[in-house]
Copies of this chain bind each other. A is one copy, B any other.
Amino acid sequence: MNTLNDAPAPARGPAEHDIRDQIVVAATEHFSRYGYTRTTVSDLAKAIGFSKAYIYKFFESKQAIGEMICTNCLRGIETEIRAAVDSADGPPEKLRRLFKTAVTASLRLFSDERKLYEIAASAATEKWQATLDYEVRIKGLLQDILLAGRQSGDFERKTPLDETATAIYLVLRPYLNPLLLQHNFDHTDEAPAHLSNLVLRSLSP
A: which residues have CB within 8 A of B?
A: 124, 156, 159, 163-164, 166-168, 170-171, 173-174, 177, 179-180, 183-184, 187, 190-191, 194-195, 197-199, 201-203
Given contact pairs A163-B197, A171-B171, A180-B183, enumerate 13 new A-B contacts (beta carbons under 8 Å).
A124-B183, A156-B201, A159-B197, A163-B194, A166-B190, A166-B194, A171-B198, A173-B174, A174-B174, A179-B183, A180-B184, A198-B199, A201-B202
Verify B171–A195 contact, CB threshold 8 A: yes
**B163 x A187 contact (CB < 8 A):** no
The dominant DSSP class at the A interface is helix
Closest partner residue, chain B, to A171 (CB atom): B171
- A170 contacts B199, C-beta separation under 8 Å: no
Does the CB pair B180–A167 fall under 8 Å?
Answer: no
| Contact pick for A198, options B190, B191, B197, B202, CB 8 Å | B202
Residue of B nearest to A197 (CB): B167
Q: Which residues of B contact A177 (CB under 8 A)?
A: 183
> Do B179 and A167 touch (CB < 8 A)?
no
Q: What chain B residues lie within 8 Å of A195 (beta carbons)?
A: 167, 170-171
Contacts of A167 in B (CB 8 A): 194-195, 197-198
Q: Which residue of B lies closest to A192 (CB)?
A: B170
Q: Is the CB of A180 within 8 A of B170?
A: no
- Least CB distance from A200 to B in Å reads 8
The answer to whether residues A194 and B179 also contact, given A159-B201, A201-B159, A202-B199 and a CB cut-off of 8 A, is no
Please pick, from B159, B164, B179, B191, the residue contacting A170 in the complex, using a CB distance under 8 A: B191
13 interchain pairs, CB-CB under 8 A: A156-B201, A163-B194, A167-B194, A167-B197, A168-B198, A170-B187, A170-B195, A173-B174, A173-B187, A177-B183, A198-B199, A199-B202, A201-B201
- Measured between beta carbons, the chain B residues less than 8 angstroms from A171 are 171, 195, 198
